Structure 1
Amino acid sequence: MPIARITEYLDMHRIKYEKITHSPAYTAQEVAAKAHVSGWDLAKTVVVKLDGEFAMAVLPASEHIDLDYMAEIVNAREACLATEDEFIDMFPGCDLGAIPPFGNLFGMKVFVAPELAEDETIAFSAGTHTELIRLSYDDFEWLVEPEMIPFAVLT
């Protein structure tokens, strides 16, 4: 889902957004620095497996997932990070590590950390290591319909 597909989806729903281009970066904290976005304001998308089912966990770049707590909250027997080999083909056109948090477009449940809703906007990778999208958190929530659960902890 390169940036053109995301912006097309946003345009179709008449969502206001901003494209941010930055030099190549491969970690969430590196992206935040190069794009001049706070690590608290940049959302990273992590693919997890909950009882073998893929889902997206969306959280601030400056935090990480407490998988045991996440499993407890969603009543899963097991929660683990999905490996890149397991999901490489699920996101055509996206660079690994730059997956946008639109699980609804991939038939995937999306969980979001409550900290992201504290800001008016959300910024996230747009499928490449050089582009971000920023839009209102309310619009993101309306489009994606994520389940908000407190699974993120400081790194």
Structure 2
Amino acid sequence: MGVAATLENYLKAKQVDFTLLEHEYCEGSYNTARVAQINDLCLAKAVLLRDEDFHYTLCVLPTRNKILRKTLNEILDRHLELVDEEELTAIFKDCEEGAVPALGEAYGLDVIWDEDLLQVEEVYIEAGDHRHLIRLRQIDFAQLMQDKLHDHFSADRARQSKLPKKYIRQEYEL
């Protein structure tokens, strides 16, 4: 499949150059970073949440992080919940199930992105399937996100885990 048509059209309309990184099939953002051999701080995962009025917000954060929902709810002054798979499939019609691209504007969604993504030179996002990632230069990612809400609403899973240290995955360096 490569790049979802909606996403490709959006990037062309925004005149943003990107490259495509192919990797072995895998599901889950942490697994994708490992298989693609990229740092999990560089892979921007997209998590779709909604409030009780069905107002959707796509949260974009580094794969290594988890959303601090209380912080996010305070930032947005709403009570957000994770959407179910049926809703994801209905919104991201040209994407494989679970391969949600981090460019919500392409799909008419409000977006909030975590400022931890400013720490990296390149940002990778799902291309719409489980075999490809879009590689964006930081300057291009910043351009795409310039008018979107941003803040710190996530934290590194390892630092937030209540599990004993021996059960926390080891960070890897490339």
Asked whether the two chains share a fold, i.e. TM above 0.5, the reply is yes
Q: Is the 8 A contact 2:18 2:136 kept in 1?
A: yes
- Taking the aligned partners of 2:110 and 2:11, their CA distance within structure 1 comes to 19
SS of the equivalent of 2:38 reads coil
1:105 to 1:12, Cα distance in 2 relative to 1, 3 A: closer
Is 1:54 matched with 2:91? no
Confirm whether residue 30 of structure 1 aligns to residue 31 of structure 2. yes
Partner of 1:3: 3
Asked if structure 2 preserves the Cα contact closer than 8 Å seen for 1:29 and 1:39, the reply is: yes
Q: Which runs of 5+ in 2 are unaligned?
A: 158-174
CA distance in 2, matches of 1:2, 1:68: 36
Partner of 1:66: 68
- Contact residue 95 and residue 129 of structure 1 kept, 8 A: yes
Please give the alpha-carbon distance, in whole angstroms, between the structure 1 residues aligned to 2:80 and 2:13.
35
Q: Which residue is equivalent to 2:97?
A: 96
Identity of paired residues, percent? 27
* Greater Rg by CA: 2
The residue type paired with residue 105 of structure 2 is N
When you count strand as a share of all residues, which structure comes out higher?
A: 1
Structure 1 residue 9 displacement after superposition: 3.2
Indicate whether 1:15 and 2:16 are aligned: yes
- The aligned length equals 154
Structure 1 segment 93-132 matched on structure 2, within 5 A: 93-132=94-133
- What does residue 43 of structure 1 align with? 44
1:4 Cα shift?
A: 5.1
- Deviation track 1:88-146 (CA, whole Å, cap 9, x = no partner) reads 21111101221111211222111111100121221011000000001123322323432
Q: Distance in 2 between matches of 1:93 and 1:11?
A: 17
Q: For residues 30 and 83 of structure 1, what CA distance do their matches in structure 2 show?
A: 21
- What CA deviation, in whole Å up to 9, does each residue of 1:4-30 have, x standing for no partner? 523343234332211000011101111
Report SS of the residue matched to 1:127: coil
User: Higher mean Cα deviation, 96-105 or 8-17?
Assistant: 8-17
Structure 2 CA distance for aligned equivalents of residues 108 and 4 of structure 1: 16
In structure 1, stretches of 5+ residues that fail to align are none
- Give the superposed CA RMSD: 1.8
